[in-house]
Amino acid sequence: MYQVYPRSFADGNGDGTGDIAGIRSRIPYLASLGIDAIWINPWYRSPLADGGYDVADYREIEARYGTIDGAAALISEANEAGIKVIVDVVPNHTSREHPWFVEALAAEPGSAARNRYHFQPGKGADGAEPPTDWTSVFGGPSWSRLPDGDWYLHLFDSSQPDLNWENPEVRAEFLSILEFWLERGVDGFRVDVAHGLVKDMTWPDMESETDELLTANSQENHPFWDRDGIHPIVREWRALVDRYEDRMMVAEAWVPSLERLALYLRPDEYHQSFSFDFVGTDWDPSEFRRIITESTTKTATIGSTTTWVLNNHDVVRHPTRYGLPNGTNWRAWLLDGPHDILDAELGARRALAANLMLLALPGSAYLYQGDELGLPEAWDLPIEVLDDPVWERSNHTRKGRDGCRVPIPWTSDGPSLGFGDGEPWLPQPPEWAEISVEAQEADPNSPLAMHRKALAIRAEELVVSETLTWVDSAPEVIAFNRGTIECWMNMGTTAVDLPADAAIVVASDSGQATSGASLKPNTAVWLRR
Ligand code: BGC
């Protein structure tokens, strides 16, 4: 699965913002990668206060991205090219510009219109204190007050009011939205904040800060994350999705354990739920081995597989994460540095090795646009261009997620490196000219070439079985057999011997392919024995 962030993928009309026309023009490229499907981040009508995760109309396309006809054309053209299309659904909250919220603001406290959201009176004298002490994931309080005294809940930005999933009207509306898109031919859904829909409506205080953006929390009976009441809702969606042939749902559920994750993967719930374990893990072979072992064995016991993720539009890109010393808080580092501790070249090598390893694992793998180019984080974006609400809501203590959302460099020159004819909505680092698609197409040893080769072999040979067998190796080496292919990744600092009778079929380091018997540090290979 290849994740397309529409705002930053390709700009078809030259306004500096990516769009559906841009994606359509790049379908041949997507097909050339050898992926099975794309996941498109929200493309619905939206003020884009949170990059489109603030939806004003779930059945319309944002005008900056295109039209509903363009969306339909994209789906059918992608399908014709052999690519399935899944879209994002955002059920936890709407935009404040959604007609329901506009109606709720105009209505009285206690009205039916307000009951689609979580409106509550405040605490303290005159209700001047928020109903609970919960903090927003983006920073600051998770309640905002209206002039009439009522407070409304928003776990994210104040422009993203949380819906009340105890309200049957909300449930019915989302079934209808899913049906709308199923009828338009989407192959499935990525469900946003799938672990957040149900709140403890006794409104208890937490007496602790909400965890930093999108990290799994470990609190039992958490008042708003991963509550058991979520699952009956998912079963309703699944029953609908199952009425259509060959459609799927993947959950974005940040949960504290594999046991909790497994609940989302029950046969009548999601087909997939992201495993975010690698995202929060340093370059550490014992941790990598533990994650792979636990995840593959536990998902197998429930008849499911793991859905691997190294990157997405919410996290610092991994060539940058892996270029920082282990233990660095990369979210804080973006703003606070020190920036001279970054070894970009080391990070780039490790990230490529990790991608090759990821593509060898059983289960499903998600790549984020630019991963195939080895794009690093644009970590030095000037403050003036930051768009992520995290920057303001955190009182300028967190830079936010713009650095992983910078438009893709398609060509090695031109005003926006081939992204489009206009000034891109976020500036691209000039050195990205050297790692553009155009530059890499011309280089048979490029990261792009490695991904194409690996994806082709994966499709032919690896998806036929979900079995992974560990191969004896030094502790700093991740080595496992997948049938015809063996993957070896050296996470240590010295070269290690590879088996004598093996031919290298893909390598993350172009120097490696010919060197034969030893595996360089920070390198991965696929062997055929
Ligand atoms: C999405 C984020 C978004 C948040 C609120 C997430 O988990 O991936 O990009 O800001 O949900 O919708």
The one-letter amino acid code at 83 reads I
Res 516: pLDDT: 66
Considering only CA atoms, which residue is closest to atom 7 of ligand 1?
A: 193
pLDDT in tens, 92-144: 999 999 999 999 999 999 999 999 999 999 999 999 999 999 999 999 999 99
> Would the CB of 151 count as within 6 Å of ligand 1?
no
pLDDT in tens, 156-186: 999 999 999 999 999 999 999 999 999 999 9
Does residue 433 sit within a domain? no
Distance 393 CA to ligand 1 centre (A): 15
Q: Among 315, 337, 372, identify where a domain stops.
A: 372
Domain extent at residue 147:
99-153
Lowest mean pLDDT among 72-86, 338-352, 498-512: 498-512
Residue 112's CATH number: 3.90.400.10
* Sequence-ordered list of residues with C-beta below 8 angstroms from that of 24, at least 6 positions apart, any chain: 12, 70, 73, 74, 77
By CB neighbour count within 10 A (0-12 exposed, 13-18 middle, 19+ buried), where does 238 fall?
middle
Distance 519 CA to ligand 1 centre (A): 39
pLDDT in tens, 36-79: 999 999 999 999 999 999 999 999 999 999 999 999 999 999 99
Distance 397 CA to ligand 1 centre (A): 19
Atom in ligand 1 nearest the alpha carbon of residue 54: 12
Look at residue 213 and tell me whether its pLDDT is greater than 60: no
Same domain, 62 and 136: no
Does residue 256 sit within a domain? yes
Give the residue, 159 or 212, on which the prediction is more confident.
Answer: 159
Considering only CA atoms, which residue is closest to atom 2 of ligand 1?
A: 314
Which residue do the tokens 């595996």 mark?
Answer: 519
Does residue 508 sit within a domain? yes
Task: Give the Cα separation of 241 and 249 in Å (integer).
Answer: 8
Same domain, 179 and 47: yes
> Would the CB of 252 count as within 6 Å of ligand 1?
yes
Q: Structure pTM?
A: 0.97
**Residue 512 banded pLDDT, cuts 50, 70, 90:** confident
Same domain, 120 and 45: no
Residue 502's CATH number: 2.60.40.1180
Does residue 417 sit within a domain? no
Same domain, 124 and 246: no
Res 219: pLDDT: 65
pLDDT in tens, 351-383: 999 999 999 999 999 999 999 999 999 999 999
Same domain, 16 and 71: yes
Res 246: pLDDT: 97
Same domain, 291 and 337: yes
Task: Give the Cα separation of 488 and 502 in Å (integer).
Answer: 11
Considering only CA atoms, which residue is closest to atom 1 of ligand 1?
A: 192
- Tally of domains within the chain: 3
Does residue 399 sit within a domain? no
For residues 101 and 111, the answer to whether their CB atoms sit within 8 Å is: no
pLDDT in tens, 392-451: 999 999 999 999 999 999 999 998 999 999 999 999 999 999 999 999 999 999 999 999
The percent of the chain in helix, strand and coil, each rounded to the nearest 5, is 35, 15, 50
pLDDT in tens, 300-343: 888 899 999 999 999 999 999 999 999 999 999 999 999 999 99
In order, the DSSP letters of 136-173 are PTTSSBSEEE-TTS-EEE-SS-TTSPBB-TTSHHHHHH
Q: Among 338, 356, 372, identify where a domain stops.
A: 372
CA–CA distances in Å: residue 11 to residues 26, 92, 380, 413, 417: 10, 29, 23, 16, 11
The one-letter amino acid code at 349 reads R
Element (H, E) at 200: none
Same domain, 43 and 111: no
* Sequence-ordered list of residues with C-beta below 8 angstroms from that of 108, at least 6 positions apart, any chain: 114, 148
Helices and strands (H and E) in the chain: how many: 16, 20
Same domain, 364 and 317: yes
Res 302: pLDDT: 87
Same domain, 321 and 289: yes
Q: Which of 48, 156, 191, 401 to mutate to test the pocket of ligand 1 (most atoms within 8 A of CB)?
A: 156
